[in-house]
């Protein structure tokens, strides 16, 4: 994994989102030992997808857009099968960072609140407003796409229009959130948030032994530090007595365990519990638009 593709940048203190109040978690019903949002919400198509950031340090935008997409579906009880555009975040969220050269989590969710985000699916998707412009490639595996380019793609230009042939205007295509927030760096609060609201975006420190992950619960053992990486967390569990987070990567489904991996949970391994963010989608206006 090229260090330049480790696209997570820590959010400066002045850009940090407010921390969500979680007092009610203390009196809530116990959480299950194992939980997977894909099983809890089987009709949500976005939960089944593994996207591909290609040769662009846009992991920060992928983790955000994927979590947002899942939350829109979950909040609408499956009526809104939305794919939020990673392209628009990468190209237009100047407060987030530097596009393909990396970005931050908190400002990505704040952008969802303040500006809204259009739809955007995978590379070549003609059924969304701003699909991803870069083709999938093989990340650290020999697969069906061919090796990722050695050079990083340039950040796309910001646009407030949809691709040709898409039936909706950019303005009517936007999805908004009512609130964006950080979560306390505590295991139970993060679990409760996933259980009650859906996927969250998080980030962790990447070391050389991570890139060849296949199965099991990842624990850093050896190898040099490569940088920060942002991902989507969709659940948790216990495997052979070891607690883990269930995580979706953005290197397509040929990497890891069909595009996912498990990471040691509850001890802030590689900083996985340090920077976790979420938001609440606005769905009523979109449901009315859908019904019109």
- Cα→Cα distances 81→109, 120, 154, 221, 249, Å: 19, 12, 30, 39, 20
Report how far residue 205's alpha carbon sits from residue 195's, in angstroms, rounded to the nearest whole number.
25
Q: Is 59 a catalytic residue?
A: yes
Alpha carbons within 13 angstroms on the beta-carbon side of residue 142 total 0
Active site residue 229: yes
- Please, are residues 8 and 203 in contact by the beta-carbon 8 Å criterion? yes
Measured between alpha carbons, how far apart are the two ends of the chain, in Å? 47
Report yes or no: 217 and 264 within 8 Å, Cβ to Cβ. yes
Give the tokens for residue 70.
């899942």
Q: Are 55 and 149 in contact (CB under 8 A)?
A: yes
Catalytic one of 6, 93, 139, 249: 249
d(CA 61, CA 58): 5
Task: List the structure tokens of 49.
Answer: 């997808």
Set 6, 44, 59, 137: catalytic member: 59
Question: Using an 8 Å Cβ cutoff, are 112 and 155 in contact?
Answer: no
Runs of H (alpha helix) within the chain? 37-40, 59-75, 86-92, 105-114, 170-173, 187-197, 284-291
Torsion of CA 23, 245, 30, 180, to 10 degrees: 30
Residues in the chain, how many?
292
Q: Which of 88, 139, 175, 229 is the catalytic position?
A: 229
Active-site residue numbers?
A: 59, 229, 249
């Amino acid at each position: 994994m090229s260090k330049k593709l480790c696209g997570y940048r820590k959010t400066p203190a002045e850009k940090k989102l407010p921390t969500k109040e979680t007092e009610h978690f203390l009196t809530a019903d116990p959480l299950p030992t194992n939980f997977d949002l894909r099983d809890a919400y089987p009709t949500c198509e976005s939960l089944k997808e593994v996207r591909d950031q290609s040769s662009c340090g846009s992991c920060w935008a992928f983790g955000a857009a994927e979590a947002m997409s899942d939350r829109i579906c979950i909040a609408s009880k499956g009526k809104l099968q939305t794919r939020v555009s990673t392209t628009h975040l990468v190209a237009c969220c100047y407060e987030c960072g530097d596009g393909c050269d990396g970005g931050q989590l908190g400002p990505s969710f704040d952008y969802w609140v303040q500006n809204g985000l259009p739809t955007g699916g995978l590379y070549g998707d003609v059924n969304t407003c701003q699909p991803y412009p870069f083709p999938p490639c093989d990340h650290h595996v020999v697969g069906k796409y061919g090796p990722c380019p050695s050079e990083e793609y340039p950040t796309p230009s910001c646009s407030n229009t949809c691709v040709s042939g898409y039936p909706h205007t950019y303005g009517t295509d936007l999805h908004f959130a009512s609130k964006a927030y950080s979560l306390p760096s505590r295991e139970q609060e993060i679990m409760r948030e996933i259980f009650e609201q859906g996927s969250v975006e998080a980030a962790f420190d990447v070391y050389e032994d991570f890139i060849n992950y296949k199965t099991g619960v990842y624990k850093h053992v050896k190898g040099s530090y490569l940088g920060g990486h942002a991902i989507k967390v969709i659940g948790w569990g216990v495997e052979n007595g070891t607690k883990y987070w269930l995580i979706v990567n953005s290197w397509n489904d040929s990497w890891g365990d069909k595009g996912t991996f498990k990471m040691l949970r509850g001890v802030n391994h590689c900083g996985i519990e340090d920077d976790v963010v979420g938001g609440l989608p606005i769905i009523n206006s979109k449901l009315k638009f859908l019904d019109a």
